[in-house]
A = this chain, B = another copy of it.
Amino acid sequence: MDNFDLGNFPLLAGFTIPNAKLAYTTHGTLNAAKDNAILFPNFLAGSDQALEIYIGEDLALDPRKYFIVLPGQFGNGFSSSPSNTPPPFDRGAFPPIHVADDVIAQHRLLTEHFGISELQLVLGWSVGALQTYEWAVRFPQMVKRMASIAGAPQPSPWTRLWLSTVIEEPVTSDPAWNNGFYHDRLDVQAGLRRQGHCMALTLPPLSYYHGDVLRSLGFASVNDFVRGFFEGFMLGQDPNNLLIQARKARFADPSRGGDMAAALGSIKARAFIYAFTGDVMFPPGDCRLDAERIPGSHFRELTTTSGHLTTFGLFPEDKRAVDDAIRETLAN
């Protein structure tokens, strides 16, 4: 992972992060014409490893052909974040971030550092899709194609309730939270585990809790799945970092408080909007309406069985469905 030095970075909220940095990882080689780049922003609590399952010589994101940039986002623990910023902007005092701040920082990385002026594709899952929409609206001339995978320009009212109830409240209600000024992130382990419980309740399709689905994933019981997968996932996170990301997602709005239909209507990218059957976070019906507002876009509902979790690729057919979607977008 590399770091791009953003200097003193002004945020939309009016704060300035001193010596801000944007972490990033690349795969493949930027060609001489600098026209083979793809940008793949990350999801909430995401990691490079989670996205890299879609990069390979036998996959749509082929590093022999494309220069693939996995950009960080503020609050992810590698880019400037509550967990790595010195006082006075440390921990619970880290300023609020907008999705647009991430996208502006990513744009600077691509243009200033790499000299890229055109992207073959911007794609993202969930909060990565929020960034994808922001990219397509903010820099329409630079984004040749976009793929929103289980995402939207902004979360639905239910999904905003999810972000506050599942991500924010379980940690902010933990006595060890101390307004974000805990000593060690695992002091807040009880809150992180409760986040995991709320996620286990709301993210997998109900089918995961019937029959042999969990056993086929290697879990002996529901409790084993809840602890082994969801608690384990959340215990790897820093509570302040999660909060920054959740609040950023909650207030995503590429129209900047304006007219969403006009914002989406201004997109120049060839847009593919993918939704997963049974995804409560970004329901196919909502995604279809988003797609209808983007000129010349294509909407696809993918009938996978893992709902919003499809992109984790827990089952081979989930991974294949997402890879096929990326392949379709790139072929257009």
Contacts and interface: CB of A to CB of B under 8 A. Distances in A.
A173 interface: yes
B280 A161 contact: no
Interface stretch (A70-78, A125-133, A190-198): A190-198
Given A175-B175, A194-B169, A206-B283, A162 B201 contact: yes
Contacts of A200: 161, 165
A222 interface: yes
A166 B201 CA distance: 9
Contact of A173 (B160, B190, B202): B190
Number of chain copies forming the complex = 2
Interface in A260-284: 280, 283
A174 B173 CA distance: 7
Interface string A278-294: 00100100100000000
B222 A157 contact: yes
Contacts of A283: 206
A contact face: mostly helix, strand, loop, or mixed: helix
Contacts of A197: 161, 164-165, 169
A237 interface: no
Interface residues of A, number: 30
A119 B100 CA distance: 65
A158 B226 CA distance: 11
A175 B191 CA distance: 12
A222 B198 CA distance: 19
Contacts of A194: 165, 169, 173
A315 interface: no
Nearest to A208: B158
Contacts of A198: 165, 198
Given A174-B173, A206-B280, A280-B206, A201 B165 contact: yes
Contacts of A226: 161
A156 interface: yes
A160 B222 CA distance: 10
Given A158-B206, A165-B197, 8 more contacts: A158-B209, A161-B197, A161-B209, A161-B222, A165-B198, A166-B201, A169-B194, A173-B173
